[in-house]
Amino acid sequence: MNDTTPHMGTLAVWAGENEPASGAGTQVPIVRSVAFGYRDVAEWEAVGRGQVAGDIYSRNTNPTVRAFEQKIQCLEGAEAATSFASGMAAISNTLFTFLAPGERVVSIQDTYGGTNKVFLEFLPRQTVEVEICPTEDAAVEAAVAKGCQVLYLETPTNPTLKVLDLPRLLKAGQRVGAVTVVDNTFATPINQRPLELGADLVVHSATKYLGGHADALGGAVCGKKDLVSRVYHYREITGAALDPTAAYLLLRGMKTLHLRVERQSASALTIAQHLSTHPAIAQVHYPGLGSDPGYPVAKRQMRGFGGIVSFELVGGANAMRHFLPRLRYAHRAANLGSVETVAGPPATTSHVELTPEERVTAGIPEGLIRYSVGIEDPRDLMADLDQALAP
Ligand SMILES: Cc1ncc(COP(=O)(O)O)c(C=O)c1O
C-alpha cells in the first residue's frame, strides 16, 4: 500500500458507501424492489445489454447488494466481486461454474462440512474427478502436479485450524493452469488476503465474521474480473442471489470488521495460551501458539491468527456434555464469527453432514469443542471456561 491507499479500517467503513446525493440519507438504503422501471425503452434496453449502468431485476443486480459487493471487493483487494444467498451458495456455484464432466478438482480433507459434501457427493454425480488430499502441503502439491481444472483450499481449516502454505500451493495450481479458490471465511481479509498471495478467487461465508452479528446469511466470491463474471453468469441462472435486507445487515456489520477481528484475534490467542496449560484439555488447536504445527506458515501469511480456538476435552463426549451447558458466556449453536462467543461440538454441528466414518477420517473426535471467541472481555471468558471445565 502506498501512502494514499486507505488502510483496512478505513476501507471497512467507507468502501461501497457512495457519496449520497445532497440531502439524501447517509446510509445505503435497503432497496427491496424486485424490478426497476424505465419509461424510455431505449434506455431500458441499454441497461439490459450492460451498455449503461443500472438495474433491471434484483435476482441479477440490486443497489443494496452492489454496495455489499463493492465493500468486500475492496477489502479483499479484488478486481470484482459477486454475492450469494449464503456461503454454501457461493462455494457450490463457484465449483459448478468451473467444473464440467470429466474434469478434475483437488482439495483437502478439512474443508467445511458442506463443502466436503459437494466434493464427496454432488461433483462425483456429475462425473467430475475429485481428489481429496490429507491437509498437508506436500500431498496437495503432488495431487495438483497430476493436473486439475480447480484447486480449492481453506486455511485455517474448520474446525482443527490447520494451516496451508498458500503461496506455495497457489503457485502449484498456477503451474497446471487451474483456477485457484480459497475459502477465507475464518481469516477474513483483516488477517489474510489470499489474492495478494496468488489466488484467483476468494470465497466467503459472509454469514460469519463479515456480518458479525449472526443475523444475516450471505456469501461472496471475489477475484479476477473474467472469473467472477463467469460465476455471476451462473448465479443469474441458479438464482442464488443475496437478499437486499441481508446485504444491508452485512454492510452494517462490515463497518466494524477490523475492530471485531482484531479484538477477537487478540482474545483468542490469550485464551489458547490459557487453555494449553489446563489439565482438563487434551489438545488445543490455534495457529498463533508457537507450539502449533501451523504457526511458522501462519506467521508468514496472516496478520493475526483469527478468533477461533478448538480444543479437545480430556474426557471425550461425556466431558463435552458436562462442559457445554455450564458455559455462561457462549451460545451453544452451530455458528461462528459473531460478536457473542459461540461454542459447539463440530461432530454434531459444522460436520453433521458427514457420516461417522467421514468424521473419523477428518480427525474430528466427539470431545472436540470449536470455540468462536466473541468481543467480550477475555478475562470473563477465561473465568467462564475455567468454571465450566471444573469437575
Ligand atoms: C469455512 C466455512 N465456509 C463456508 C461455510 C458455509 O457458509 P453458510 O452457512 O453461509 O452457507 C461455513 C459455515 O459454517 C464455514 O465455516
pLDDT in tens, 65-83: 999 999 999 999 999 999 9
Model confidence at 355, pLDDT cuts 50, 70, 90, reads confident
pLDDT at residue 363 greater than cutoff 50:
yes
Q: Mutation test of ligand 1: which of 83, 158, 242, 250 has the most ligand atoms closer than 8 Å to its C-beta?
A: 158
Q: What is the pTM assigned to this prediction?
A: 0.96
Atom 15 of ligand 1: nearest residue by CA position: 112
What pLDDT is stored for residue 358 in this prediction? 72
What pLDDT is stored for residue 377 in this prediction? 98
Atom 13 of ligand 1: nearest residue by CA position: 205
Q: Domains in the chain, please, with CATH?
A: 8-254 (3.40.640.10), 257-389 (3.90.1150.10)
For residue 158 and ligand 1, the question of a CB distance below 6 A is answered with yes
For residue 16 and ligand 1, the question of a CB distance below 6 A is answered with no
Q: Mutation test of ligand 1: which of 208, 243, 250 has the most ligand atoms closer than 8 Å to its C-beta?
A: 208
Model confidence at 353, pLDDT cuts 50, 70, 90, reads low
Q: Mutation test of ligand 1: which of 153, 207, 249, 336 has the most ligand atoms closer than 8 Å to its C-beta?
A: 207
What pLDDT is stored for residue 371 in this prediction? 98
For residue 341 and ligand 1, the question of a CB distance below 6 A is answered with no
Helix/strand/coil (H, E, C) string of the chain? CCCCCCCHHHHHHHCCCCCCCCCCCCCCCCCCCCECCCCCHHHHHHHHCCCCCCCCECCCCCHHHHHHHHHHHHHHCCCEEEEECCHHHHHHHHHHHHCCCCCEEEEECCCCHHHHHHHHHHHHHCCCEEEEECCCHHHHHHHHHCCCCEEEEECCCCCCCCCCCHHHHHHHHHHCCCEEEEECCCCHHHHCCCCCCCCCEEEEECCCCCCCCCCCCCEEEEECHHHHHHHHHHHHHHCCCCCHHHHHHHHHHHCCHHHHHHHHHHHHHHHHHHHCCCCCEEEEECCCCCCCCCHHHHHHHCCCCCCEEEEEECCHHHHHHHHHHHCCCCEECCCCCCCCCEEECHHHCCCCCCCHHHHHHHCCCCCEEEEECCCCCHHHHHHHHHHHHCC
Q: How far is the CA of 230 from the centre of ligand 1 (A)?
A: 22
What pLDDT is stored for residue 1 in this prediction? 45
What pLDDT is stored for residue 20 in this prediction? 79
pLDDT at residue 32 greater than cutoff 50:
yes
Any idea which residues carry the catalytic annotation?
Answer: 59, 112, 183, 208
For residue 94 and ligand 1, the question of a CB distance below 6 A is answered with no
What pLDDT is stored for residue 293 in this prediction? 97
pLDDT in tens, 244-292: 999 999 999 999 999 999 999 999 999 999 999 999 999 999 999 999 9
For residue 186 and ligand 1, the question of a CB distance below 6 A is answered with yes
Average pLDDT, the chain: 95
For residue 86 and ligand 1, the question of a CB distance below 6 A is answered with yes
